[in-house]
Amino acid sequence: MALAVLLLGVLLWLLHRNELEEARLALIKDILWVEQNIHFHLDSGEEKLTQLVAELARGDQPVETFEVQARGLIATSGDFDRILLRDAEGGLAAAVPPSVGDRSGEVVGEAAPWWSAFTLAKSIGRAAWSAPFAIPGRGQVFEVHVPIFRDHRFVGMLVGEVAVDSLLAQQVPWWVAEKYKVEIIDANGTTLGAKTNVQLAEPGPSHQVRLEPPGQGVAVVATVYATETNLARNLLAAAIFALAILAVSSLWTMRRHARRRFAAEQALRTEHAFRKAMEDLLTVGMRARDLTGRITYVNPAFCRMVGWSEEELVGCMPPMPYWSPDAMDSTMEWHKRVMAGDAPPDGFEIQFRRRNGETFWALIYEAPLIDANGRQSGWMASVLDVTERKSAEELERWQQEKLQRTGRLITMGEMASTLAHELNQPLSAIASYNTGCLNRLALPEFDPADLRTALTKLGVQAQRAGQIIRRVHDFVRKSEPQLKPCTLNGVVEDTVGFMEFDAKSRGVQLKVSLSPANPAVTADRILLEQVVLNLARNGAEAMAHTPARQRKLSIGVTCQDGQAVVSVADHGPGIAPDVAANLFQPFFTTKEEGMGMGLNICRSIIEYHQGRLWFEPNEGGGAVFRFSLPTRSP
């Protein structure tokens, strides 16, 4: 029985070997046919480009001639996916079809992947093919460069671009793709493109042929798909030997199963060791909990972060030992939200405590933990220590507030003379009313009722002076933003009160246009007044050289699409294009004594309120600065 099985095996092996030899010969014949077909196609395209170069060299308008001829060439022959025209320095002069969003063709010099072919074609005076290179969105391509000479002078390069995928799709017929997987590879064996109509488990024998052009190690490879041969039918015909080989085949099956199981166990051990090494190297803390909140897994990074070991943490139930006693209630609230599936997708910040008592801020991202059966078994969290980042953000916020307060002090310092003049009027009126009252009292006969009107006016002027001082005091002493409901009409009216005397001293007419809707926003009123005041003073200063009758500063409030917009328009010289790019940059100024922080502070304040600050040219000359804020819901 063993001898019969052996002889049958030899027979089947000879039959199988004969089938493989026939398949190999058919493979070689077919791949040579495919290579010749591609070779003929590329040579034909190269000849057509050479003919087009001759027409371009003779014509006076090479770009127009190129576009017409290139469209016709692509439409009729399909030899190239794209045809380019480059100038003598390699710059892109025209492309058919034109590129949309692809900037790779505009790279010139040694950084360009086609540059070696460009220089070679230019030096030898005939066509040269480039090495394959990748273009985003189009895959691997190679180009043929045909130089253009006019009066024996190199004037440009005509480039035909061939996409590997498109070349295979057009030149490999369906019957070849049904039998083989056809690929084009480079000199390193990297697959540049492939065509196949069959998807089977594993490939069979393959054969490759160098592809000239484009050359440079490029080859076309055909791989036979492993299909069912006559071996299965021969084995079925040999059913008379089934009983003889039953024991052997059973033992072989058991051995193969054992080897596969051993390989699977080995792969599992390798994968577990790899995953363990990755977890040990992570700097991000990982923590897993079941659906009851019990900790089931922590990685070394998390243990280092909190100071407790894995043995001490696994199995713990809330409250956890690393929870901060000062934030116990908020931590428990977050725990309940996570267990209920209400964890925010962008993470949340919470305060934890290390084993040594030190507190730190952690940014936590929670995600469902899915088991092998597709059911949720708990929650997996990634934990990042963001204490340093929060400290940096707090320092940046403090510095920004200090900068804003400094900006207000600078603004009030610049307006000191105006404020002095504004205070001088009520104080002078108070002194005048006081002198008049004293004169009345010195008369032999006076009626106390005569003093009532003067004293009333005196009190009004005193209140006015007090309001001015209070307004300046509030404007200067403000240090921390207080977001409260306020109306933009009121903000503009208060700011105009600051600006009235400064505008008069500069000969500027103020024109205020308030919104009938009186939009309300949630903001810090003093910071908004600072923005409007800075923009208004900049507009007034910009009109220093404007004729007096044209010095008009318009401040308006509008409301549209849920946004309240405040605009400040002047009739100055406007914003020069070279200034516009840096207008909001820190320490950039066009004033001789300016610090260059005003507009930067204004933009920071508006962005803090979720708004936007920008400028536009004024139709009547000058500039219009606008900022928008989201209106407050009723």
CATH number at residue 346: 3.30.450.20
Residue type, 209: V
**Cβ-contact 384, 468 below 8 angstroms:** no
Q: Which helix (H) or strand (E) holds 145?
A: strand 139-149
pTM value > 0.85: no
521/594 same-domain check: yes
> What backbone torsions phi and psi does residue 186 show, to the nearest 5 degrees?
-95, -170
Q: Which of 562, 563, 566 is nearest to 488 (CA)?
A: 566
For residue 607, what are the contacts with CB-CB under 8 A and spacing of at least 6? 613
Whether 5 is covered by a domain: the verdict is no
CATH code for the domain in which residue 465 is found: 1.10.287
> What backbone torsions phi and psi does residue 165 show, to the nearest 5 degrees?
-60, -40
> How many structural domains is the chain composed of?
5
310/351 same-domain check: yes
557/597 same-domain check: yes
Whether 17 is covered by a domain: the verdict is no
Whether 13 is covered by a domain: the verdict is no
CATH code for the domain in which residue 535 is found: 3.30.565.10
Phi-psi region of 83 (alpha: psi -120 to 50; beta: other; left: phi over 0): beta
Collapsing DSSP states into helix, strand and coil, what is residue 543?
Answer: coil
Collapsing DSSP states into helix, strand and coil, what is residue 528?
Answer: helix
* E-assigned strand segments in 561-632: 563-569, 612-617, 623-630
> What backbone torsions phi and psi does residue 100 show, to the nearest 5 degrees?
-120, 105
pLDDT given for residue 105 in this prediction = 56
494/625 same-domain check: yes
Residue type, 207: H
CA distance 530 to 511: 19
Whether 3 is covered by a domain: the verdict is no
CA distance 327 to 350: 8
199/326 same-domain check: no
Task: Going from the first residue of the chain to its last (634 residues), give the mean pLDDT of each consecutive group of 10, the final group possibly shorter.
Answer: 71 76 82 83 83 77 74 77 84 78 63 84 86 82 87 85 83 80 83 72 73 81 69 62 74 88 87 72 80 87 86 87 86 87 83 86 86 84 80 68 62 54 59 71 72 71 64 55 84 79 81 90 83 85 85 90 90 81 63 57 83 88 91 72
For residue 195, what are the contacts with CB-CB under 8 A and spacing of at least 6? 165, 168, 169, 172, 177, 181, 182, 183
* E-assigned strand segments in 465-622: 484-487, 509-513, 520-523, 552-560, 563-569, 612-617
**Cβ-contact 238, 8 below 8 angstroms:** yes
CA distance 320 to 313: 8
Whether 361 is covered by a domain: the verdict is yes
113/201 same-domain check: yes
Q: Which of 587, 616, 581, 609 is nearest to 599 (CA)?
A: 587
449/405 same-domain check: yes
Size (the chain), residues:
634
Whether 8 is covered by a domain: the verdict is no
- Terminus-to-terminus CA distance in the chain, angstroms? 96
H-type helices in 206-346, by residue range? 231-237, 242-281, 300-306, 310-313, 328-339
User: Quick count: other Cβ atoms within 10 Å of Cβ 54?
Assistant: 11
274/286 same-domain check: no
CA distance 143 to 571: 57
Residue type, 460: V
User: Quick count: other Cβ atoms within 10 Å of Cβ 264?
Assistant: 10
Whether 16 is covered by a domain: the verdict is no
Quickly tell me which residue has 């006969």 as its tokens: 445
Whether 292 is covered by a domain: the verdict is yes
Give the largest CA-CA distance in the chain: 156
149/178 same-domain check: yes
For residue 337, what are the domain limits?
Answer: 282-385
pLDDT given for residue 595 in this prediction = 47
Of 368, 385, 402, which closes a domain? 385
Q: Which of 623, 628, 531 is nearest to 577 (CA)?
A: 623
Of 336, 359, 385, which closes a domain? 385
553/514 same-domain check: yes
Collapsing DSSP states into helix, strand and coil, what is residue 570?
Answer: coil
Q: For the purposes of burial, counting CB atoms within 10 Å of the CB of 83, is it exposed (0-12), middle (13-18) or buried (19 or more)?
A: buried
Q: For the purposes of burial, counting CB atoms within 10 Å of the CB of 325, is it exposed (0-12), middle (13-18) or buried (19 or more)?
A: exposed
pLDDT given for residue 627 in this prediction = 92
Of 358, 385, 412, which closes a domain? 385
Collapsing DSSP states into helix, strand and coil, what is residue 238?
Answer: coil
267/361 same-domain check: no
293/372 same-domain check: yes
Residue 62: is the preceding peptide bond cis (ω within 30°)? no
Contacts of 337-345 with C-beta under 8 Å, sequence gap 24+, read: 338/366, 338/379, 338/381, 339/291, 339/293, 339/379, 341/368, 343/379
